Amino acid sequence: PFEDIIEGRQIAEGTEEGHVRFLGTTIRDEKVDVALGSIRLMSANGKEENVHIFGQNNYDEMTGLYNKQAIHRYAERVFAQQPDHPVHLVIFDLDNFKNVNDTYGHLAGDEALRTVGGIIRDALGSNGVAGRFGGDEIMMVIEKADTLMALRAILRSIRTNVEHAYHNTGKFYEITCSIGVATLGVAGNTFEEVFNVADKMLYGAKMKGKNRYIITPFIFAFILASKNKCENK
């Protein structure tokens, strides 16, 4: 058994970002160590509050990302707070994914989704969260990209690594992705408004030849953020 205190984002209903305590045990077999346990929310004074079990009901088994309900809930909560820093909603889609499933079978498609899930987790790091929104569509909320260069670095890493994952590997197919990005305060002020614009940006990326990302005008996000900071002082 083990116990540790970590700090990070929480997806369970009714919680906020803060300190949590992880209680659990490690089960060992010949191939892998599996940690099982629960996460308990800690208040500012260190007292234990409500208990939330973070099980498979919050995660997508195929990609290892959050599932549709969890990422949707998280995005709505962030947008409702109307933060004064740029928040970007990203819609990701694998190009010609249906052809991979139809031609090479669902096992090939499942393998691609697992690979892509790992690529997205590595590229995002602590800068945002991601969840599988359905099929091969993934939604991301990026909050810690305060410059256009930082945002592009994340998107470029995802696009490039997805493209290279199956390039010259001996597979009979190659996989690429298209990405649409919209920013809170630029594309709209609600989750629905920003999602619709991000979806249009994704459609534009598909129409322009796929294997690319398209971002809504970015500079206005910083004008808005600066204005909000001044007003809140």
Instruction: Tokens for 94, please give them.
Output: 């694998």
Active-site residues, by number, are: 136
Instruction: Tokens for 99, please give them.
Output: 């052809």
**Side-chain-facing half-sphere of 29: CA atoms under 13 Å:** 4
* DSSP character at residue 12: S
Q: What is the pLDDT of residues 202-218, one digit of tens each?
A: 999 999 999 999 998 65
Q: What is the pLDDT of residues 90-126, one digit of tens each?
A: 999 999 899 888 988 989 999 999 999 999 999 999 8
pLDDT at 153: 95
pLDDT at 20: 53
pLDDT at 59: 87
pLDDT at 166: 83
Q: Which residues of the chain have pLDDT under 70?
A: 1-56, 169-170, 172, 217-233
Instruction: Tokens for 38, please give them.
Output: 């629960």
pLDDT at 90: 97
